[in-house]
Amino acid sequence: MTPDCCGTGYNLTPLGCLVYGPWQTYLDGNNEAVFFEGKEISSIGTGYSPLQKNLVFELLQNGTVKFWFKSDYDSSLSIRTSPDANGIQTFTNIQPKENEIKKVYNSGRWRADFRDSSLTIDFGKNSTGIPAIKGKYKNLGSTYFDFQKISYFDSVYLGTKSTLKKVITTHYNHPWINRF
């Protein structure tokens, strides 16, 4: 199935969706869900780390990653992307111009396996210390996607030692697209 660009009729391949533009975390935080035998037994929301809130990255067609931090926006871009006094964020003409981001890093690489939706984003060797992101993309569209990290752990559940599955879902969208 070819993802649709938010009902606008533009159909992009999964590769086209991933490289459509830069990505930032979206909504208030991660969802952490725990499963036992395929059934969800708990789910909590956890806030994004300061690094996750600040990071913007772009996956390029040649397999490299370009990224920057919102804290490096110049004052005019910061004003255009910040909420007003009432906490309302208005998105108008906020795509940055080349000189409005103080530092852009070009040290990363990414790869995807479109057969199983796995995605690895490695931000490379640099002074930022950003760890690589590994997992699977879900709900992929040109303006948003969910990224899931899956792990397994042993625990006692219902009085029995069991292996549980933990799924951490992070939501991403484009920084200058007002999706809702």
The values of phi and psi at residue 17, to 5°, are -65, -45
pLDDT confidence band for 177 (50 / 70 / 90): low
Supply the pLDDT for residue 129: 85
pTM of the full structure:
0.80
- Sketch the domain layout of the chain as residue ranges: 14-173
pLDDT confidence band for 171 (50 / 70 / 90): very high
Exposure string over 11-31, b if 16+ CB within 10 A, otherwise e: ebebeebbbbbbbbbbeebbb
Q: How far apart are CA 71 and CA 16, in angstroms?
A: 28
Supply the pLDDT for residue 101: 81
Supply the pLDDT for residue 123: 94
pLDDT tens readout for residues 91-139: 544 566 667 788 889 989 999 999 999 999 999 987 788 999 999 999 9
The rounded radius of gyration (Å) of the Cα atoms in the chain is: 18
pLDDT confidence band for 4 (50 / 70 / 90): low
Query: What's the one-letter identity of residue 72?
Result: D
CA 138 to chain centre: 11
- Mean per-residue pLDDT of the chain: 84
* Mean pLDDT, residues 2-28 taken together: 76
Q: Which two tokens stand for residue 60?
A: 């390029």
